[in-house]
A and B are shown apart, each in its own frame.
Chain A
Amino acid sequence: MSENVRDAGFDDLLDAIEADEGFYLRCANGHGSLPPRRACPHCGDQHLTEEPLAESGEIETYTVINITTPEFEEDTPYVTAIVDFGPVRLTGQVRGIDPDDVSTGLVVGPSIEQTATMGERLVVFRPR
């Protein structure tokens, strides 16, 4: 992975979330997915349009991670969660709340922040 090379679609989504213009891809049959996609992963439909991502979603499941990879060493411990935005779910870290207070169903909004260890961009959820 060389520096300065973007991952088309994925980095576009991070840019969009950063600008509060998050989106997802919707196929003709109404399934949601995230970029990069040329076909719907649920039905194979190739007619995908960008639709606005909801401003907030609910934590569907989460974990407090204590043992991690070298890339996240200084971030530890951290909360990883899967958040339900309706047509799509997103995985990211939960910040701005004590890990003990995180719960299923908590309403959060997405943002883009940096990891403490490497300064890499990642999806972060903060309580709304």
Chain B
Amino acid sequence: MTTVRVAGVGLTPFGEQPERTARDLFAEAGLAAIDDAGVDSGDIEALFYGNFMGEMAEHQGHQGPLMAEAVGLDVPATRYEAACASSGVAMRQAVRTLRNGEADVLLVGGAERMNNLGTAGATEALAIAADDLYEVRAGMTFPGAYALMARAYFDEFGGTREDLAHIAVKNHENALPNEYAQFRKAISVDQALTAPMIASPLGLFDACPITDGASAVVLASEDYAKNHDIEATVAVTGTGQGGDKMALQDRGDLATSPAADKAAKQAYEDADISAKDVDVAEVHDCFTIAEVLAIESLGFFERGEGISAARDGKTTRDGTLPVNLSGGLKAKGHPVGATGTAQIAEMTKLLRGDHARSDAIPGADVGVCHNAGGTVGSAVVHVLEVVE
């Protein structure tokens, strides 16, 4: 089985760019990744592409071939949809395809256009990642769903809005030098606590923004990288995916994310590492409480202890395990279908040493990316390691 190398990565700036089509966004990220990899684009054998709300945002289904065309490729191209984990699952399928020996070079990525829908329209489009019959028709929104989990967490394990505010403050701080981030502005705990409520106990600064953007990754087999003199020092050594019941009401427990537990266990076993080996993590913090659930599922903290990790300085830039050095979804932005591979792109740069925040983790060689779909009805975890 080949070791899957990350040959190159590409991102568009994340932010409000309502006039840009998804095809334009993806072309920018995809071409940047191919350029960064230094591969001949004629060697790319397929495109694995993630997108969630294309039908609602720009009346566009069947985006696989459209996106291949946008980056100038005449290859099989398939769209993967798993809500906010769409490009995470695309990544996983590409990794497996390379490992199977079915290809040597693949393009993986995702894009999302959201701001042209406006806040209400984007909220509506995001809501359909929940169960239509039993959640959407009751008025459940995505912030609402995570708010239900946040209150369940507080009731089961304790924790306060102030604990959550420290997560937002940390991720905004991390995003400051990230040229691709939507928000490059520091915030204070007090600002977070006094912001308008979206869905109690979550306020405006507990939520990620509505974002337009794209991301892409070129993956290559070890032999291809060697034979073509491609410098690819980061390998994908583990992949895992877990699932859960669609509706929160059908879950065993509302204060944990079992799908991510399963994805993490599988990815760690695959890479033959444990949570203790991880130096740095990019996790799916669509809401501050989501970061708490993620770092507990990933085994970095016991249940009930993730809530205070940012406040105690454990997950901050100078902590024992920096989380979301990119700014996370919270400050970097969350173009939902692009987020999974954006995390891979940020982590690759962090481990290669060419990320604006690489200085925070000198010598780091194991990174983990955690991408969640919906209210973690889907979860994908990847382990990236420096292999030279």
Chain A residues engaging chain B, CB cutoff 8 angstroms: 7, 10, 33-34, 41, 60-73, 75, 78, 80-82, 88-93, 104, 115, 120-123
Contact B138 A10 (CB under 8 A): no
Question: Which residues of chain A come closer than 8 Å to B200, judged between CB atoms?
Answer: 63-64
Known: A7-B133, A120-B137, A123-B138. A69 touches B250 (CB 8 A): no
Which stretch, B145-153, B214-222, B228-236, B258-266, touches the partner chain A?
Answer: B145-153
Expressed in whole angstroms, the Cα–Cα distance for A62 and B247 within the complex equals 15
Expressed in whole angstroms, the Cα–Cα distance for A123 and B105 within the complex equals 51
Question: Which residues of chain A come closer than 8 Å to B1, judged between CB atoms?
Answer: none
Contact B134 A34 (CB under 8 A): yes
Is B141 at the interface (CB under 8 A from chain A)?
yes
How far, in Å, is A6 (CB) from chain B's closest CB?
12
> What is the count of residue pairs linking A and B with beta-carbon distances less than 8 angstroms?
101
Expressed in whole angstroms, the Cα–Cα distance for A89 and B248 within the complex equals 9
Contact A104 B151 (CB under 8 A): yes
Question: Which residues of chain A come closer than 8 Å to B120, judged between CB atoms?
Answer: 68-70, 73
Contact B250 A33 (CB under 8 A): yes
Contact B133 A70 (CB under 8 A): no
Contact A122 B139 (CB under 8 A): yes
Expressed in whole angstroms, the Cα–Cα distance for A88 and B141 within the complex equals 21
Known: A41-B245, A66-B196, A82-B148. A104 touches B139 (CB 8 A): no
- B137's partner among A60, A62, A65, A122 (CB-CB below 8 A) is A122
Contact B119 A67 (CB under 8 A): yes
Is B198 at the interface (CB under 8 A from chain A)?
yes
How far, in Å, is B303 (CB) from chain A's closest CB?
17
Known: A62-B148, A104-B151. A41 touches B250 (CB 8 A): yes
Which stretch, B29-37, B121-129, B276-284, B330-338, touches the partner chain A?
Answer: B121-129
| 12 A-B residue pairs with CB within 8 Å | A62-B148, A67-B141, A67-B198, A68-B141, A69-B120, A80-B199, A89-B249, A91-B247, A91-B248, A104-B151, A104-B155, A123-B138
Is B65 at the interface (CB under 8 A from chain A)?
no
Expressed in whole angstroms, the Cα–Cα distance for A7 and B140 within the complex equals 19
Interface of B is mostly: helix
Known: A61-B151, A80-B144. A70 touches B254 (CB 8 A): no
Expressed in whole angstroms, the Cα–Cα distance for A89 and B120 within the complex equals 28
B154-204 interface with A by 8 A CB criterion: 155, 196-202
Is B64 at the interface (CB under 8 A from chain A)?
no
Question: Which residues of chain B come closer than 8 Å to A88, judged between CB atoms?
Answer: 249
Expressed in whole angstroms, the Cα–Cα distance for A115 and B139 within the complex equals 9
Is B240 at the interface (CB under 8 A from chain A)?
no
Q: Which 5 A-B pairs have the closest CB atoms?
A: A63-B147, A89-B249, A69-B124, A61-B152, A64-B200
Contact A91 B147 (CB under 8 A): no
How far, in Å, is B349 (CB) from chain A's closest CB?
34
Chain B residues engaging chain A, CB cutoff 8 angstroms: 119-121, 123-124, 127, 133-135, 137-141, 143-144, 147-149, 151-152, 155, 196-202, 245, 247-250, 254
How far, in Å, is A63 (CB) from chain B's closest CB?
4
Expressed in whole angstroms, the Cα–Cα distance for A75 and B188 within the complex equals 32
How far, in Å, is A55 (CB) from chain B's closest CB?
18
How far, in Å, is A84 (CB) from chain B's closest CB?
9
Expressed in whole angstroms, the Cα–Cα distance for A104 and B249 within the complex equals 15
Contact B250 A89 (CB under 8 A): yes
Contact B144 A65 (CB under 8 A): yes
Expressed in whole angstroms, the Cα–Cα distance for A88 and B201 within the complex equals 25
Contact B249 A82 (CB under 8 A): yes
Additional pairs, 9, CB under 8 Å, beyond known A68-B139, A69-B141, A88-B249: A60-B254, A62-B148, A63-B144, A65-B147, A67-B199, A82-B148, A82-B254, A90-B134, A120-B137
Expressed in whole angstroms, the Cα–Cα distance for A64 and B143 within the complex equals 10
Among A41, A68, A73, A122, chain B packs the most CB atoms within 10 A around the CB of A68
Expressed in whole angstroms, the Cα–Cα distance for A26 and B49 within the complex equals 40
How far, in Å, is A93 (CB) from chain B's closest CB?
6
Using CB atoms, name the residue of chain A closest to B120. A70
Contact B199 A66 (CB under 8 A): yes
Using CB atoms, name the residue of chain B closest to A90. B249
Question: Which residues of chain A come closer than 8 Å to B144, judged between CB atoms?
Answer: 63, 65, 68, 80
How far, in Å, is B36 (CB) from chain A's closest CB?
38
Expressed in whole angstroms, the Cα–Cα distance for A68 and B151 within the complex equals 19
Known: A63-B151, A82-B254. A122 touches B138 (CB 8 A): yes
Expressed in whole angstroms, the Cα–Cα distance for A41 and B254 within the complex equals 17
Using CB atoms, name the residue of chain A closest to B156. A61
Using CB atoms, name the residue of chain A closest to B147. A63
Contact B199 A63 (CB under 8 A): yes
Expressed in whole angstroms, the Cα–Cα distance for A71 and B140 within the complex equals 11
- A72's partner among B119, B134, B139 (CB-CB below 8 A) is B139
Question: Which residues of chain B come closer than 8 Å to A71, judged between CB atoms?
Answer: 124, 139
